[in-house]
Amino acid sequence: MARHGESKHFKRSVVTASLVIPRKKYKYYTKPLPGKHSSKDGVSILGFLRDVLKIAANAREARYLIKNGYVFVDGKKVIEEKYVVGFSDIVSVKDNYFLVWLSGKGKLISVKKDEKIDSKLIKVMSKHKGKKGMNILFTNDSRNIVYPKDDVQINDSVSLDLKSYSITGKIPFESGKNIIVFSGKNAGKKGVIKEINDGSVTVSGEEGDFVVSAKSCMVI
């Protein structure tokens, strides 16, 4: 039950700009629960099935897929229709796999994959030492990953195996690497890192150079 004054839905006219949702077709949009993505950067799984993937014509059809166990996010079954989905997540429906990505205008889109996806690329947002000197990596999708080695740094991207939850590869955050901006006013823009300076990054893009926060972009 929602707390007093707290809505379970957003009015369609005020839904965050990061979502690809037809604003006039439905009056309300299901508000996602707090989770690994914020409500302004994510969408409920119900909304994703209906409005992004478009494999459900309406909320009833989306609920049928969810409640009958056909929907997985990052390899885990999702039965809560308000579960939040966002950038870099892997969604599967009846053995069809989709990568949640961003369009050039920063809108959430889906990229269909021809084969099963067993891993995902995520960004290391922070890093600290845990028990017995083990590294704890905090990622853009709100994971805390225990990692024994010291070869992964803040802002690097890592490939996470979705079965073992172990890191199977990494991409260093350095000049010459390709990036995508996943938050802020430049969300969706892509380019090549030209220069890194004290938390900001100069990126060479299709329309010229631009500067973004290192925290807002991911090497790919």
3-state secondary structure the chain: CCCCCCCCEEEHHHCCCCCCCCCCCCCEEECCCCCCCCCCCCEEHHHHHHHHHCCCCCHHHHHHHHHCCCEEECCEECCCCCCEECCCCEEEECCEEEEEEECCCCCEEEEEECCCCCEEEEEEEEEEECHHHCEEEEECCCCEEEECCCCCCCCCEEEEECCCCCEEEEECCCCCCEEEECCCCCCCCEEEEEEEECCEEEEEECCEEEEEEHHHEEEC
19 pLDDT above the threshold of 70: no
Residues 191-199: contacts with CB within 8 Å, 24+ apart? 193/219
Which of the pair, 161 or 14, is modelled with greater confidence?
161
pLDDT at residue 21 in the model = 53
pLDDT of residue 39: 81
**CATH topology identical between 9-113 and 178-219:** no
What type of residue is 158? V
Residue 166: CA count within 13 A, CB half-sphere = 4
1, pLDDT greater than 80: no
Q: What is the pLDDT of residue 34?
A: 81
- pLDDT of amino acid 40: 84
Q: Which one is the CATH code of 9-113: 3.55.50.30, 3.40.50.700, 3.10.290.10, 3.40.50.300?
A: 3.10.290.10
Domain residue spans of the chain: 9-113, 119-171, 178-219
Matching CATH number, 178-219, of 1.20.120.160, 2.30.30.30, 2.130.10.10, 3.40.50.2300: 2.30.30.30
Q: What is the pLDDT of residues 45-94, one digit of tens each?
A: 999 999 999 999 999 999 999 999 999 999 999 999 999 999 999 999 99
Tell me how far apart the alpha carbons of residues 206 and 132 are, in angstroms, rounded to a whole number: 46
CA atoms within 13 A on the CB side of 50: 23
CATH of domain 119-171: 2.40.50.740
| Cβ atoms 18, 187 nearer than 8 A | yes
- Burial of residue 24 (number of CB atoms within 10 Å: 0-12, 13-18, 19+): exposed
What pLDDT band is residue 28 in, cutting at 50, 70 and 90? low
- Could you give phi then psi for residue 219, rounded to 5 degrees? -75, 140
Residue 123 vs residue 38, higher pLDDT: 123
